[in-house]
Structure 1
Amino acid sequence: MPKVDDSHFAARRRQILDAAAACFAREGFHRTSMQDIVRASGISAGLIYRYFTGKDDMIAAIVAEWHERRTTMLGDDPAAGYLDVLRRVGAPGTRPELQLAVQVWAETVRDPDVRAMSRANVERPVAAVAPLLAGRTEDPEALARVFVAIYQGLVLQTLWDDGLDHEAFVRAAGLLLAPFAPPGNPGGGAEQQ
């Protein structure tokens, strides 16, 4: 059998993950069958199993990518990056991604592996941001977790309320963040509004 080059492998994997993510966002993890993913991807079941061992493997890959993107968005200026992450929640076309996020959060209650991945993906940004808040608050880790909760709450409110004013939400979050932003960056990037 000819060896598949890395770019072809990556493209096929992406095609499968995109199809699986769309199915999971629409139907949830448990109501989505492998046959649903086969249909959505246009790839045979046999070929899918060459890339993934099953749905749980796809879920793990999706969760890892999802959190990696958010971590990357924080960039060199976590305060401004955080506000950019909040802005992205309200961007057009993000609804399926937000639905998938809620599916992942719900799955953490049932699946210890997904819970461990999700917890690790909260712990990393908390560990990265808490030192930046040191000296500005009594409990920097707790404050970092508050900002994670603000993000999670915005995701839920966005799915529940089509009329939510995301810019107003981001401005308010910027005001909350301002006292903790590094000197010389008042508002943690909130002035970019």
Structure 2
Amino acid sequence: MPKVDDAHFAARRRQILDAAGACFAREGFHRTSMQDIVRESGISAGLIYRYFTGKDDMIAAIVTEWHERRTTMLGDDPATGYLDVLRRVGDPETRDELRLAVQVWAESARNPAVREMSRANVDRPVAAVAPVLAAVSDDPESLARVFIAIYQGLVLQTLWDDGLDHAAYLRAVALLLAPLGFAPPGDGGQGD
């Protein structure tokens, strides 16, 4: 019986987070009200408050999930995983996710808790790939941060420029990776 309760809890929580994420991506954190989330989710405010203390709690959960997904995508092969993360940015289905990412970055400049999570979610991958990059750089942490900045820049450019050639962007990044000994196998980062 507890499995059903756990599954129900997880499904309801997911429903609320999906609704909140859609509202945040569309209107931003500050313009989104709890009533907007109630309408989007179809769940009463009282029930939402059983799962989350408020918008900040939802934002924290969304930020945590967002970074966990990217960490999982990197996998065991950092170069291929990194190009997969970049490739996903060009997927039209991720548009709301990209808008939400920019909202998180903007919120991190204002909200110390979101800034701390965002910093941790940059510092962890930097620490994870720095040992790999140490073989090709005297400053592997800075090099890792450059690749994070490339990702962040692609997110912004994708939102600003509907005509951005993602395949060309990926080929350029693959060219940057190649001299470091991290050229991905197969398509050179062109995508499917």
TM-score normalised by length of structure 2: 0.94
Aligned residue number for residue 90 of structure 1: 90
Aligned residue number for residue 155 of structure 1: 155
The letter for the 1-side match of 2:150 is I
Aligned residue number for residue 14 of structure 2: 14
Sort the Cα spacing of 1:169 and 1:192 in 2 relative to 1 into closer, same or farther, 3 A: closer
Offset, 1:138: 1.4
Offset, 1:135: 2.3
TM-score normalised by length of structure 1: 0.94
Residues 97-117 of structure 1 deviation map (CA, whole Å, 9 limit, x = unaligned):
000000000001100000000
User: Quick check: 1:16–1:37 contact (8 Å CA) kept in 2?
Assistant: yes
| 1:191 aligned residue (180, 188, 192) | 188
Aligned residue number for residue 119 of structure 1: 119
Structure 1, unpaired ranges of 5+: none
User: Quick check: 2:158–2:164 contact (8 Å CA) kept in 1?
Assistant: yes
Q: Hey, what's the Cα distance between the residues in 2 that align with 1:35 and 1:86? A: 34
Q: For 1:20-169, list aligned pairs within 5 A.
A: 20-169=20-169
SS of structure 2 residue aligned to 1:95: helix
The letter for the 2-side match of 1:133 is L
User: Quick check: 1:78–1:129 contact (8 Å CA) kept in 2?
Assistant: yes
Q: Hey, what's the Cα distance between the residues in 2 that align with 1:89 and 1:181? A: 24
Residues 54-106 of structure 1 deviation map (CA, whole Å, 9 limit, x = unaligned):
00000000000000000000001011000000000001211100000000000
User: Quick check: 1:79–1:181 contact (8 Å CA) kept in 2?
Assistant: no
Q: Hey, what's the Cα distance between the residues in 1 that align with 2:108 and 2:135? A: 33
Residues 8-37 of structure 1 deviation map (CA, whole Å, 9 limit, x = unaligned):
000000000000000000000000000000
Q: CA RMSD in A?
A: 1.5
SS of structure 2 residue aligned to 1:135: coil
Structure 2, unpaired ranges of 5+: none
Q: Hey, what's the Cα distance between the residues in 1 that align with 2:83 and 2:147? A: 10
Q: Hey, what's the Cα distance between the residues in 2 that align with 1:181 and 1:86? A: 19
User: Quick check: 1:79–1:188 contact (8 Å CA) kept in 2?
Assistant: yes
Identity of aligned residues (%): 81
